[in-house]
Structure 1
Amino acid sequence: MNDLLPADLPRLRAIAMYLQLQLDHVGRRIAEAERWEASRKAAARPASPPQWTLQMDVGAEPQPVAVHHGECRIGGGARRRRIGRRDAIEALAVGVMPCALCRPDRELQVD
């Protein structure tokens, strides 16, 4: 036997109980740390790009200039607004130009 442990059974059982309580405590802390890490990673994920965007002009009262697919890299920057499919179709229907690069009118099936 190990010289650091007592030889009698009652004290060995007491040590085993103490160690089990410590192991349970460590297990709970590990689970807590894993939940925290998962929530941190979820918060750090970049937001998904919008499905469609509306490029606005630079005037005092911005007007729509073009409709883009959400992953299109041109047109707007800070002047880009997220829109849904229905809004993209409506914008194209009232004469807002589709982007010549990403061609949202093709995917939206708007002539």
Structure 2
Amino acid sequence: MSDTPTRLDLLHFARRVLVQQHAANLAQLDQWIAVEEDREAAQRRAEELRPPPPEWLLERGIGAGSPPVRVHQGGCVMANGVRVKGISEDQARRALYGHVEACPFCNPDTALQVIPE
């Protein structure tokens, strides 16, 4: 009996190697899919828990304790930074009637139907 494998033995061996590699690659792909599904689920949960953005914003001047400078609608791109805080609709109206300037880009005075004196 010869120790040299036959051509058929080599083909069966090659098939076993391919099956093992395929299983390992498939397991790795399944792991990547599971990680991505977990990441997307966590992102959806975080979005559901995030409070809605404020409808109205009050911008303050530079410096601690500075007075308000402008009222903005919630999605205004001009209202960015640390000097802006969310306020209620009533607070926005009072600020506009109290002579705080309305943003010329988002026009909160028009949206609130406030006509400054």
TM-score (normalised: structure 2) = 0.57
Whether 1:60 and 2:90 are equivalent positions in the alignment is: no
Of the three residues 78, 97, 100, the one matched with 1:96 is 100
Whether 1:105 and 2:109 are equivalent positions in the alignment is: yes
Q: Percent identity?
A: 39
TM-aligned CA deviation for residue 47 of structure 1: 4.1
Say which one has the larger Rg.
2
**1:48 paired residue number:** 52
| Alpha-carbon contact 2:72-2:102 (below 8 Å) kept | yes
- Partners of 1:44 and 1:67 in 2: how far apart? 27
Q: Deviations over 1:1-60 (max 9, x none)?
A: xxxxxxxxxxxxxxxxxxxxxxxxxxxxxxxxxxxx867622245543210000000122
Aligned length: 78
TM-aligned CA deviation for residue 68 of structure 1: 0.1
- Please state whether the residue corresponding to 1:77 is helix, strand or coil: coil
Aligned-residue RMSD, C-alpha: 2.6
Structure 1 alignment gaps of length 5 or more: 1-36
